Amino acid sequence: MKTLILFKNGTFWIEDELKKCDVLVEDGKIKEILSDSSETEAEVIVDLEGKYVYPGFIDVHTHVGIMEEKTGNFAGNDVNETSSPATPGVRAIDGINPFDPGIQEARNAGYTTVCVMPGSANVIGGEGVVLKTAGTVVDHMVVETPKKIVKMAFGRNPQWAWGNQKKAPYTRLQIAAIVRDNLMKAGDYMAKEEKKFDYNMEVLSGLLKKESVARVHVANLEDIETIKRVMEEFDVDYTLEHATALHTDKEVALSLKDVPVVLGPLNVAGKSFQSYDLTFNSVKILHDLGFELAIMTDAPVIPLQLGIIQMWLIDRLRLDRADVLRMFTINGAKMLGLEDRIGTIEAGKDADFMVRDGDIFDAQSTVTDTYIAGTRVGGACA
Amino acid sequence: MRVSTLIKNAHIHPVTSKDFIGDLLIEGSKILDCSHKIFAQADAVFDATGLHCYPGMVEEHCHIGIHGEKTNQNSDNDTNEWSSPITAEVRALDGIKPFDHGFIDAIGAGVTTLNIYPGSANPMGGVGITLKNDLSVPYEDRIMLEESGFKMAMGENPKRVHSQTKTIMTRMATAEKIRTAFKEALDYQAKKEKEPEKTPFDMKHETLLKVLNGQLNAHVHAHQADDIMTVLRIFDEFGIKPMFEHTTEGHLVADELAQREITVAVGPMFTARYKMEVNNRTMKTPGVLEKAGVKHITLITDCPVIPIYDLPIQATMAVKNGLSQEEAIKAITINPAINLGIDDRVGSLEVGKDADFILTDRELLDPTHRVLYTYVNGKLAYNMKEEGLTI
């Protein structure tokens, strides 16, 4: 028995512009976009008169559920498995609490898909997972991605986490060495005919077989270049996460044109530590160089509830607003290999909507309803 | 010779009166006139048609310059004098790096007056300072208030920090340390009156006496409602009135605060709930306080906890959650000026006040606005076209 829902009379963000139309949803998927729905037999009608409907927001780099809010400092924090600097075999999904208020607020704010990854204390942190933001059992929230996600981190964070304990890695030299060493071992593991099953080696083998992608935390330019060197040596697919200084050298940036880049969190202060070059201007510089950027909150660094503020701040750069909206929707979907399923309002995709009472660039408009797969899961977020 | 500038046809938001399309005339460092049509000769005339003109914003609670930016973790961080839970004798004045990058960001954001406090590690952290954010003059000439307020702190931070020195393990000891410090200052005063020659000068007690005599306002970091009430209990005992900073659970005791005519600063509201005492953080707090009748509500960034350019965006979010638009603008301009006692100089566009103002292309509460020009003391201090966006 299929359920047909008609989202009627809304103003939908479709093909980079606002269009007055109706959207027919069947079993959680967008079936058809209609200019005239008078002939349609829908079981449920959702009247969206006066409402603006956008694709649900996507954040490809968060720690929600695994770095829980409202639990004080440690109780709900499972983000960094700092028992060893390389823990490829651990999985974010095993530490996620779907009742984290950060997730609830995310869906109320119109974020419908998030990628949750381990933190940046370890050089190889473990596997990440993509979730829809509604549900009580994390396994049912998972969105399968074509490639698995392996979190890595270069630069100051692993240095602090480990060097401060007087353990390796003290230096950037050792960070690169740890990655090389692990990937070499994984190559040997793959070559062995008879082997003892090893979770760590299985995950790393996935990188060498291009069944997985390394999502690499990085800030400084020198680390960006080291990542490029190491990943190219092993022919591993990778993304640059944060990439705080990438915009400072156009030559380096252009040499990485084929690497997906996730910028952020940008609405944070304290230009100290590894973020000397942190600026919203990086969005414009890299966008103008042709990068299809996604913007992260790194939630809970910035709670997802407040993620849209970064979009309003990016609008100060006066880029094409359609391009800006892509940074919060389809660009992230492409990075995850999910562009056929989420990120825009079009036939065949999941009916994930952010419904607002005004234009999304008008800060006084609010999210009135959030839909995931055609079901209202939240809203009423100012 | 004093230079005059005439800003013409701007959408002027004086803050203390209704907005209008008109002109602003400045001479030297002061506002000479602000009205619908000014017919006057000026050295420079600036056509601001289509632009909005607001007073430079006032940040009542930040650590810019004392918690250095663009440096490594500790070398330029002089925020907390951890050596003892009671450091009433120290002053922010002596820890500020006047050319810290944070000041430049503030100018680009349109924030022209900064009140800078020591941190919240100590129940009594020291004395704050108010600076005009005029980077063209020496540090000493930027000082508006050398002793702007006395910083105190309750709750988790003193407990966390001083449990390491075994001086404070519970909130009970934080209260006890405060009571004892006030009492010792009064004893010192009595001894000084009785035996002036035998009483050596004590900076700590002298500072606390200013607080007890009402010469220096106590600004108390308190998130939870119970911490707020503990402060009021202690201050009642000594017959003084605090002002609250952060006030995260202020909405839970809004009536009490209103009835006692206590002023509060709220923020930073854009943080995660990373510690228990901020679990009830909500952007509804300013609106609830306003409806309860709390006066001069102020919004603060605590920069570098959140960026200084978030100051007006917090006001935007507060409006979305129930604060009136009028009070929201005041909360980042005239209200903090009133709370610091500098409203005769800054916080609104009025004749005779300092010529601190900004020109924006959209309304200030629209977070997509750009600050195009910032004037401080009548001088152009930031020009977006030349310097780029500082966000």
Does any CB of chain B come closer than 8 Å to the CB of residue A163? no
CATH number 2.160.10.10 is the correct assignment for the domain at B56-347 = no
CB pair distance less than 8 Å for B303 and A269 = yes
For chain B, residues with pLDDT lower than 70 are: 1, 70-74
Question: Which residues in chain A have their CB less than 8 angstroms from residue B275's CB?
Answer: 72-73
The minimal CB distance from A363 to the residues B305, B366, B391 is found for B366
CA distance A242 to A227: 13
**Phi, psi dihedral angles at A66 (to 5 degrees):** -100, -20
At position B312, the amino acid (one-letter code) is P
pLDDT value at position B75?
A: 72
For the record, the structure tokens of A170 come out as: 């003290």
Give the relative orientation of helices A221-234 and A172-191 as an angle to the nearest 10 degrees: 10
Residue B127 burial (10 A CB sphere; 0-12, 13-18, 19+): buried
CA distance A82 to B275: 21
pLDDT in tens, A73-119: 666 788 899 999 999 999 999 999 999 999 999 999 999 999 999 99
**Phi, psi dihedral angles at B18 (to 5 degrees):** -65, 150
How far are the Cα atoms of A213, B252, B257, B288, B327 from residue B292, in angstroms, in the given order?
Answer: 54, 11, 8, 6, 13
Which residues touch B18 (CB under 8 Å, ≥6 apart)? none
Q: Which of B111, B366, B368 would best serve as a mutation to test chain A binding (most A beta carbons within 10 A)? A: B368
pLDDT value at position B101?
A: 87
DSSP letter at A54 equals: E
pLDDT value at position A40?
A: 79
CB pair distance less than 8 Å for A272 and B388 = no
Does any CB of chain A come closer than 8 Å to the CB of residue B40? no
Which residues touch A328 (CB under 8 Å, ≥6 apart)? A57, A58, A59, A294, A295, A307, A308, A311
Which residues touch B310 (CB under 8 Å, ≥6 apart)? A267, A269, A309, B268, B270, B301
Task: Identify the residue whose tokens are 């996507």.
Answer: A58
Which residues touch B259 (CB under 8 Å, ≥6 apart)? none
First to last CA, chain A: 37
CA distance B293 to B270: 24
CA distance A97 to A109: 19
User: Which of A326, A367, A316 minimizes the C-alpha distance to B313?
Assistant: A316
Instruction: Tell which wins on pLDDT, A380 or A4.
Output: A4
**Is-cis flag, bond preceding B242, omega within 30?**
no
Residue A148 burial (10 A CB sphere; 0-12, 13-18, 19+): middle
DSSP letter at A198 equals: -
CA distance B257 to B264: 9
pLDDT in tens, B125-171: 999 999 999 999 999 999 999 999 999 999 999 999 999 989 999 99
Residue range A261-286: mean pLDDT, rounded: 86
Question: Which residues in chain A have their CB less than 8 angstroms from residue B69's CB?
Answer: 269-272
Does any CB of chain A come closer than 8 Å to the CB of residue B303? yes
Question: Which residues in chain A have their CB less than 8 angstroms from residue B273's CB?
Answer: 69-70, 101, 300, 303
Judge whether residue A39 has pLDDT over 80: no
Using DSSP's 3-state secondary structure scheme, residue B185 falls into helix
Range with the poorest average pLDDT among A203-207, A371-375, B301-305: B301-305
What is the chain A residue with the closest CA to B325?
Answer: A364
**Phi, psi dihedral angles at B172 (to 5 degrees):** -60, -40
pLDDT value at position B73?
A: 60
> Residue B53: beta bridge partners?
B12, B359
Helix, strand, coil proportions of chain B in percent (round to 5)? 30, 25, 45
Identify the sign of the CA torsion A354, A357, A360, A363. negative
Question: Which residues in chain B have their CB less than 8 angstroms from residue A73's CB?
Answer: 274-275
Residue range A279-287: mean pLDDT, rounded: 97
**Phi, psi dihedral angles at A232 (to 5 degrees):** -70, -35
CB pair distance less than 8 Å for B320 and A280 = no
DSSP letter at A369 equals: E
Chain A nearest-CA distance from B42, in A, is 32
Residues for chain B: how many in total? 391
CB pair distance less than 8 Å for A306 and B270 = yes
Using DSSP's 3-state secondary structure scheme, residue B248 falls into coil
pLDDT value at position A199?
A: 96
CA distance B80 to B67: 9
What is the chain B residue with the closest CA to A312?
Answer: B368
Judge whether residue A151 has pLDDT over 70: yes
DSSP string, B30-69: EEEEEES------SEEEE-TT-EEEEPEEEEEE-TTTB-S
Does any CB of chain A come closer than 8 Å to the CB of residue B276? yes
Instruction: Tell which wins on pLDDT, B169 or A38.
Output: B169
Radius of gyration, CA atoms only, chain B: 21
> Residue B24: beta bridge partners?
B7, B34
The minimal CB distance from A382 to the residues B71, B276, B320 is found for B320
Does any CB of chain A come closer than 8 Å to the CB of residue B362? no
CA dihedral B227, B233, B235, B240 (to 10 degrees): 120
For the record, the structure tokens of B128 come out as: 């704050």
CA distance B116 to B340: 11
Chain A nearest-CA distance from B128, in A, is 20
Does any CB of chain B come closer than 8 Å to the CB of residue A73? yes
CB pair distance less than 8 Å for B272 and A280 = no
Question: Which residues in chain A have their CB less than 8 angstroms from residue B316's CB?
Answer: 363-364
Does any CB of chain B come closer than 8 Å to the CB of residue A89? no
**Phi, psi dihedral angles at A32 (to 5 degrees):** -160, 145
Confidence of residue A272 (pLDDT cuts 50, 70, 90): low
pLDDT value at position B165?
A: 87
User: What is the distance, to the nearest Å, from the Cα of residue A267 to the centroid of all Cα atoms in its chain?
Assistant: 16
Q: Which of A103, A271, A288, A314 would best serve as a mutation to test chain B binding (most B beta carbons within 10 A)? A: A271
Range with the poorest average pLDDT among A31-35, A76-80, A277-281: A76-80
CB pair distance less than 8 Å for A312 and B367 = yes
Question: Which residues in chain B have their CB less than 8 angstroms from residue A267's CB?
Answer: 270, 306-307, 310
Q: Chain B 212-251, CB below 8 Å of chain A: which residues? A: none
CB pair distance less than 8 Å for B276 and A316 = no
Q: What is the ipTM of this complex?
A: 0.93
CB pair distance less than 8 Å for A312 and B368 = yes
CB pair distance less than 8 Å for B72 and A273 = yes
Does any CB of chain A come closer than 8 Å to the CB of residue B63? no
CA dihedral A336, A339, A341, A342 (to 10 degrees): 80
Confidence of residue A131 (pLDDT cuts 50, 70, 90): very high
CA distance B84 to B122: 7
Neighbours of A361 (CB within 10 A): 16
CB pair distance less than 8 Å for B308 and A281 = no
CA distance A354 to A107: 9
CB pair distance less than 8 Å for B319 and A276 = no
